[in-house]
Amino acid sequence: MPKDQPTRTMPAASTIASQDSLPDNAVEVVGLGKTYRSAGKTGPKRALDDVHLAIPRGSLFGLLGPNGAGKSTLINILAGLVNKSEGTARIWGYDIDRQTRQSRAAIGVVPQELNIDPFFTPRELLELQAGLYGVPPRERMTMEILEILGLADKAQAYTRTLSGGMRRRLMVAKAMVHNPPVLVLDEPTAGVDIELRQQLWGRVRDLNALGTTILLTTHYLEEAEELCDTIAIINHGKVIACEPTPKLLRRLDSKELQVQLARPLEAVPEPLERFQPELVAADRLVFRYQTSQSPVAEILEALAKADLRVQDIRTDEADLEDIFLQLTRGAHSETGATAPATAGVAR
Ligand SMILES: Nc1ncnc2c1ncn2[C@@H]1O[C@H](COP(=O)(O)OP(=O)(O)OP(=O)(O)O)[C@@H](O)[C@H]1O
C-alpha cells in the first residue's frame, strides 16, 4: 500500500476489531469464476472467468466495464449476495466462505437503486440499519457518519424532503453504519447530474481520506479517471487491465495535433512528410505523436516552410476511452456486433 495512505480514524466494527494486524490488501480475489445456471430457454451464462484482483488497503479503486461485463456479479459475490462457482475471495483478510461473518462485517455496499423509506428521518434510518447489523447503541456513530456525508443538518428531516443528491449520500451513510473498512459503490452517479456528481465525488474522497478503502463500479470513464487511484477494466467477465490510473493513461503515450489550414491541399507537402500526417480533409491535417517526443515546434516550422497558413489548431490527449477502445477492440458484444464494448460506456 502507498506510504502516504491515511490510517483509519474511525474504530473498526466490533466483529473485526480483534484483528492483530491490518491486511495489505482490503480485497483479494483469486481465480474467481461464476456461471449462472440456465433458466428456461437461455443456457448457462459465464459471467466471471478466472478473475484475479488485489485492492490495496486505503485505495480508491475503480472497476470499469460496459453493461453485462460482470461488475455487479463480482461485487455481489463479495457482499455475499451471489454464490461464486469457483475461486476464493477475501475481504479485509477474511475468507468469504470460511469467515463469512467477519468478511460481511468488513464490507458495506451502496446499491444502485435509491431504496430509502421516505417516512423516516436520516437519523432514524441509520439507527435502524445499525440495529440490523447488531451494532450496540454505544458503538453507533450516527451523527459522525451524517457529518462526514454533509447531512448532519438534515438528521431530523423527513427523507422525502431531501434532494436527490442528499438521498444518494444517505445511501452511502446507510452502508457505513457498521463502520466497514471497505465500501463498495455500485454505479454511484448513474443518472446523476454533473453538480451532484461532483458533490458525491467530494464525499467519496473524504471517506477515502479517512481511511476507508473504496471500490467503485462505473460505466463512466471520466469518473474512474477523476476519482480512482487504480483502475481495473473488466469485459465479458475477464479483467483485461488493472493498473494505477496514471500508468494506465501512459499506456497510450500519444497525442493528436489537428491543424486546420487556410487553403485546401491535394497531397501532404514534402516538408511535412517525415511527420506522416493524415490528410483527413482537404484543409485538415492530423499529426499523431508520442507525448514524450513533443515535436509541435518542428511541425509548426515545417508548416511555415511548406508555406501553409494555419487557421486553427487543436490537440487531443489519449484518455481512458482510447485505452478502453484499444483493449476491447474487436471484442464481441452479447448482440454479436463488433467493437461494441464501448456501447455501454458513457463519458
Ligand atoms: N441471475 C442471473 N442469471 C443469469 N444471468 C445473469 C444473472 N445476473 C447476471 N447475469 C448475466 O451475467 C452477465 C454479467 O452481468 P452483471 O450484472 O454482473 O454485469 P454488469 O457489469 O454489472 O452490468 P451492468 O453494468 O449492466 O449492471 C450478464 O451477461 C448478465 O446478463
Residue of 32, 36, 324 best suited for mutating to test ligand 1, as the one with most atoms within 8 Å of CB: 36
Among 52-66, 164-178, 331-345, the least confident range: 331-345
Distance 68 CA to ligand 1 centre (A): 5
Higher pLDDT, 53 or 315: 53
Report the pLDDT value the prediction gives residue 190, as an integer from 0 to 100. 72
Q: How far apart are CA 267 and CA 311, in angstroms?
A: 18
Average pLDDT (16-39) is 85
Report the pLDDT value the prediction gives residue 112, as an integer from 0 to 100. 81
Distance 135 CA to ligand 1 centre (A): 32
Q: Which residues is 111 bridged to in the sheet?
A: none
pLDDT-based confidence at residue 329 (cuts at 50, 70, 90):
low
Q: pLDDT of 313-323, one tens digit each? A: 998 876 666 77
269 CB under 6 A from ligand 1?
no
Q: How far apart are CA 48 and CA 54, in angstroms?
A: 16
66 CB under 6 A from ligand 1?
no
Distance of CA 283 to the CA centre of its chain: 40
ipTM of the complex: 0.97
- What number does the ligand 1 atom closest to the CA of 74 have? 18
Distance 90 CA to ligand 1 centre (A): 22
As a dihedral over the C-alpha atoms of residue 129, residue 130, residue 131, residue 135, rounded to 10 degrees, the angle is 160
Q: pLDDT of 64-110, one tens digit each? A: 988 888 999 999 999 999 999 999 999 999 999 999 999 999 999 98
Q: How far apart are CA 106 and CA 92, in angstroms?
A: 6
Instruction: Give me Rg for the CA atoms of the chain.
Output: 24
- Specify the residue for cell string 488485489: 54
**Architecture of the 253-317 domain:** 2-Layer Sandwich (3.30)
The rounded mean pLDDT for the chain is 84
Give the relative orientation of helices 164-175 and 122-132 as an angle to the nearest 10 degrees.
30
Residue type, 344: G
Residue 170: closest CA among 205, 126, 105: 126
Q: Which residues is 48 bridged to in the sheet?
A: 34
pLDDT-based confidence at residue 2 (cuts at 50, 70, 90):
very low
Q: How far apart are CA 208 and CA 214, in angstroms?
A: 7
pLDDT-based confidence at residue 14 (cuts at 50, 70, 90):
very low
Q: How far apart are CA 102 and CA 120, in angstroms?
A: 29
